[in-house]
Amino acid sequence: MPTTRGRCLRLQRVAAICIAGLASHSLHFEGSFAAVNKIPKKVDAGALAQHGEDFCNELKHRGFAIVGFDLTKRRDALDWLESLAGKEDLQLANCGLQPGQARHETVSFPRPLQRLDLIPSDAAIEDTGAAAAVHLARELHNLSVSCLMAVARHENMPELLDLVAETPEPLHAAKEPSFLRANIYAGQDSAGPCWHLDLGLLTVAPAGSWPALMASPFHEAVGETAFLEELLDPDRDVLVFAGTALAVATAGRYTGLVHGVSAGRLKQTGTRVSMPYFLRPRSGAVLHKPVFSDEGLAYLYPAAVQPAGGAAVQPTLNGMLDLLRFHRDLYGRLCTRGQVVPMSVFSKPELQEKVRHGFYL
């Protein structure tokens, strides 16, 4: 019988190899440079239906897309979130936020950080700052769904839209539902960039209060700067990039953007606030294991999210793995190192063999 610790180590190994698999498509995608120009091509949100192709090309071949979209509440939301810095015992009810709608926590790993998660809603909220942030979440949710529709249309994959909840799920009803996450960074910390992939379908990120979000140098077609927020008009543009779930759902046609936050940039400022919106598969959605030419790689992909109301999905022979656990292992491992693990380490045949035989078979 495998021990818990043994299983844990194997999961970590799988997770680490998985990031190599997920990212290597973009690394070795022939013609990535040719497919996009050095200067990103911006697509207006209103044109996503007609010009979805440009948007999808950027997402696929550059690793992210810039979408023009008027962010009416970004500044108000940022001002409010900045005012929350250092408030560890924040009473959300005092801001007019209900328990299923907002969650606040202070974490120390991988770096000191306050997180405020907000689900999009139309409910009236008295506190103007909180109302601005929830309004922003609503706008970003709608935009993320429009982006997913463009992908579904372009790839002729209408089933992608079935993965998303019709109305946003409350925080306690789904394990990791779609939400806006305000990251409030304290400034001084010694963590590295904490390279990772987001676990959802799409991340839609307005510019934070100070540009520090970086694309991994492994993405060769990123363009002129790895500091992606520097490419944005802060009140009129957002970044859109894919997470693991879209990579799995499209069998690697789209790949996740390996990204992190520059510790150097964080140190240059007092507080930094970012507000990415994560569009994730709904509770109960099942992503099927894609067909791979190399069967070995197939075992490395997480393939399911937690079923509605059920226990966590255990890894099985047909490749089901809890997405959240996968990311926790992956994230933790990479953050400990504080840097991207070289792909070459994971492409060693003996390591792939170990995963094939040691983990699943």
Ligand X SMILES: O=C(O)CCC(=O)C(=O)O
Comparing every residue's Cβ against Fe ion, the nearest one is: 198
> Measured from the CB of residue 275, what is the shortest distance to ligand X in angstroms?
8
Tokens of 49: 């239906």
Q: What is the CA radius of gyration of the chain?
A: 20
Beta bridge partners of 261: 213
Angle at 336 between CA 345 and CA 351, to 5 degrees: 25
Interactions with ligand X, residue window 209-228 (CB under 6 A): 213
Select 119 or 320, whichever has its Cβ closest to ligand X.
119
- Percentages helix, strand, coil for the chain (3-state, rounded to 5) are 40, 15, 45
Select 241 or 299, whichever has its Cβ closest to Fe ion.
241
Q: How far is 138 from 111, CA to CA, in rounded Å?
A: 28
What burial class does residue 339 get, using C-beta atoms within 10 Å of its C-beta: 0-12 exposed, 13-18 middle, 19+ buried? middle
- Tell me the site size for ligand X, rule CB under 6 A: 9
181 contact, one of Fe ion, ligand X, none, CB 5-8 Å limit per kind: ligand X
Interactions with Fe ion, residue window 10-69 (CB under 5 A): none
Select 17 or 261, whichever has its Cβ closest to ligand X.
261
Among 146, 183, 216, 271, binds ligand X (CB under 6 A): 183
> Measured from the CB of residue 147, what is the shortest distance to ligand X in angstroms?
17
Among 208, 252, 256, 302, binds ligand X (CB under 6 A): 208
Phi, psi dihedral angles at 118 (to 5 degrees): -130, 130
> Measured from the CB of residue 225, what is the shortest distance to ligand X in angstroms?
15
Convert residues 195-234 into a mask of x (bound to Fe ion by CB under 5 A) and - (unbound): ---x------------------------------------
What separation, in Å, do the N-terminal and C-terminal C-alpha atoms of the chain show?
13
> Measured from the CB of residue 183, what is the shortest distance to ligand X in angstroms?
4
Among 13, 74, 111, 181, binds ligand X (CB under 6 A): 181
Phi, psi dihedral angles at 114 (to 5 degrees): -100, 140
Interactions with ligand X, residue window 265-284 (CB under 6 A): 274, 276
Q: Which residues of 222-241 are buried (b: 16+ CB within 10 A; e: fewer)?
A: bbeebebbebbebebbbbbb
Any contact of residue 259 with ligand X (CB under 6 A)? yes
> Measured from the CB of residue 352, what is the shortest distance to Fe ion in angstroms?
27
Q: How far is 184 from 182, CA to CA, in rounded Å?
A: 6
Beta bridge partners of 179: 278
Query: Residue for token digits 């993965």?
Result: 163
E-assigned strands of the chain?
Answer: 42-44, 65-68, 102-107, 113-118, 179-185, 202-206, 213-215, 237-242, 259-261, 272-274, 277-279
Amino acid type, 320: M
Select 54 or 198, whichever has its Cβ closest to ligand X.
198
Select 55 or 278, whichever has its Cβ closest to ligand X.
278
Any contact of residue 117 with Fe ion (CB under 5 A)? no
- Binding window for Fe ion (CB under 5 A); candidates: 39-47, 80-88, 193-201, 245-253: 193-201
Any contact of residue 144 with ligand X (CB under 6 A)? no
Select 298 or 323, whichever has its Cβ closest to ligand X.
323
Q: Note the residues at the interface with ligand X (CB under 6 A).
A: 181, 183, 198, 208, 213, 259, 261, 274, 276
Q: Note the residues at the interface with Fe ion (CB under 5 A).
A: 198
